[in-house]
Structure 1
């Protein structure tokens, strides 16, 4: 619009200046931007004797270290009937509630991620909880509702109100196979809505996230959320994962960051929803690159118009490779956070 002001007669100069000033006014950045971390491995790490050290090499509570690096929000996965395996177990209702209470005591906001499985759910697997096997579809919807309601009630009784809840984890092809596969969108939408209704029955103010991977892939997101709208799935926020490391060819983030930014803005405007990057991570042995990637992702989310970009969550930054064998953490072999985590500092 700016170039057209030069054509306005001088007699309208006062009006044009006023209009120009108004056009240049931007929405102030939100003060409650979520700088988050999923730290669901933490109870297992602590139980195994892993010691966390701060930047000065002093043993310290992981929550304190994270908070000192700008983290203000915690994401926790919850599984229906998990095993006690140290890497693929735990995350029961009881453990999730205890962790959420701990996060609240540190003054952090809480996101709960319902996997609707007994173990990992992601784009490659969405296994039905064993206790739900053999149920007909109406029974399955009731089981999902009752489980979600039960976890939310336990959190409420512990004094925790999650600010956000994810229904399913990375569900580009749906969840709770086979009934909730995207091959049958009407049923998937019903399962989503059962979870939505259960959350809102306990905590009406909690916002519901639907989460798809490959946040740089606009076509993937348009197809998925067009169907979500078509079949009446209820939600408040579009959640994305962004892992350049897991993309084909493992490109550097600089090759896809603009695509992420475009997709964030397109999702917010196309569906009139808020957006978040609920999972992000970079290589632990390239902390400088991961730091730069995180700064760029945070900036792209903050650039979403009308303050619809809510935040960014690192997935398991504390999950040191020496314990987890996971290469996309933000913790060094010395037990201290790497420079990557500094990206969350203002």
Structure 2
């Protein structure tokens, strides 16, 4: 009886590995993928992410498997995440607590982080640089203090949670300054420089090694960059990196990219500081052209001498189905990344 039990047990064990006519079914553990988080920054601004998730938006890999967005972007070759900060937004999205949630998630994945201060309760861009409502009636000296205090508060919150940003933008697309009208560069460059420096010094107090970025729109427009940075330089303005945006179309991406690369080389030579593309994007429904643009852009930026171009970041690639009326994302209508993002894996 004992021998029969042993034979039966042996047969059951063998059955786990061998079918009637099948090969053994031993499962080989799959190695964890390796991610390169160093060197040239390849990334995305995903500031809408928590709001999209709250609205039930889901993301999928190329095989249709539901995947958390930052994991998905990392698997696509990205190593950096950019997050905007608003002072007191009416709906709470992009306030410092929301930024902490997204920054913590990126940090857990080993991704590098850029913090983008808008110094506004909502969008700050070339057409509007509105003060936060709580700062509207401040004197100029108090406005500088508010910039410093807000910058310090947000960055200290990150530091307390073990998060160290690699780059910090002091203002967003500030081709004519920020915090209008006090900091409107075309009206008072010295005051813009002073507000910028209030943010710069606050960043360095919390994170001495963080690189402070001044970010302008239309990276192809050399004359605007020379005008603004000459003005800042003559008024004691401080920065570590010159950031650029570029949003070309299918018809002009080659010429605009060429103009921006020329501008980058001029900025590096003229001011002795590195550059990077903080925002870019193209229409989601022409993914092949978008891929051609991004692949070319990444190659040319990486080729800039002495590694003086630090990286390229796509603006809200995860937006799809016209989220917030935005059509320059790089996901298709089913929530999968398009071929455009293959450029980041090359």
TM-score range, shorter chain: 0.7 to 0.9
> What's 1:204 paired with?
208
Is residue 180 of structure 1 aligned with residue 188 of structure 2?
A: no
Is residue 293 of structure 1 aligned with residue 293 of structure 2?
A: yes
Q: Deviations over 1:41-82 (max 9, x none)?
A: 000000011111111001111111101111100000000000
Is residue 69 of structure 1 aligned with residue 76 of structure 2?
A: yes
Q: Return the alpha-carbon distance in structure 2 between the equivalents of residues 92 and 321 of structure 1.
A: 25
Tell me which structure has the larger Cα radius of gyration. Answer: 2
Q: Is the 8 A contact 1:321 1:329 kept in 2?
A: no
> What's 1:219 paired with?
223
Matched residue SS, 1:112: strand
Offset of 1:303 from its aligned partner? 2.0
Is residue 124 of structure 1 aligned with residue 127 of structure 2?
A: yes
Unaligned runs of 5+ in 2: 1-36
Offset of 1:241 from its aligned partner? 0.3
Q: Return the alpha-carbon distance in structure 2 between the equivalents of residues 186 and 219 of structure 1.
A: 19
User: Which deviates more, 321-330 or 230-239?
Assistant: 321-330
Q: Is the 8 A contact 1:77 1:115 kept in 2?
A: yes
Offset of 1:261 from its aligned partner? 1.1
Offset of 1:324 from its aligned partner? 2.8
The two structures have a TM-score, normalised by structure 2, of: 0.87
- Map 1:114-193 onto structure 2 (within 5 A): 114-182=117-185, 183-193=187-197
Offset of 1:83 from its aligned partner? 1.5
Offset of 1:269 from its aligned partner? 1.1
The two structures have a TM-score, normalised by structure 1, of: 0.87
Is residue 59 of structure 1 aligned with residue 66 of structure 2?
A: yes
- Pick from 37, 42, 51 the counterpart of residue 49 of structure 2: 42
Offset of 1:160 from its aligned partner? 0.4
- Pick from 104, 109, 119 the counterpart of residue 106 of structure 1: 109
Q: Deviations over 1:261-300 (max 9, x none)?
A: 1111111111100100000001101001011111111122
> What's 2:20 paired with?
none
Offset of 1:31 from its aligned partner? 5.5
Unaligned runs of 5+ in 1: 1-29
Deviation >3 Å, runs of 4+: none
Q: Return the alpha-carbon distance in structure 2 between the equivalents of residues 254 and 200 of structure 1.
A: 37
Q: Deviations over 1:117-150 (max 9, x none)?
A: 0000000000000000111001110111001000
Q: Is the 8 A contact 2:84 2:118 kept in 1?
A: yes
> What's 1:237 paired with?
241
Q: Return the alpha-carbon distance in structure 1 between the equivalents of residues 53 and 38 of structure 2.
A: 32
Q: Is the 8 A contact 2:47 2:316 kept in 1?
A: yes
Offset of 1:252 from its aligned partner? 2.2
Q: Is the 8 A contact 1:168 1:175 kept in 2?
A: yes
Q: Is the 8 A contact 1:260 1:300 kept in 2?
A: no
Q: Return the alpha-carbon distance in structure 1 between the equivalents of residues 176 and 153 of structure 2.
A: 26
Q: Return the alpha-carbon distance in structure 2 between the equivalents of residues 251 and 339 of structure 1.
A: 19
Q: Is the 8 A contact 2:190 2:232 kept in 1?
A: no
- Pick from 195, 198, 206 the counterpart of residue 199 of structure 2: 195
Matched residue SS, 1:327: coil
Q: Is the 8 A contact 2:170 2:213 kept in 1?
A: yes
Matched residue SS, 2:107: helix
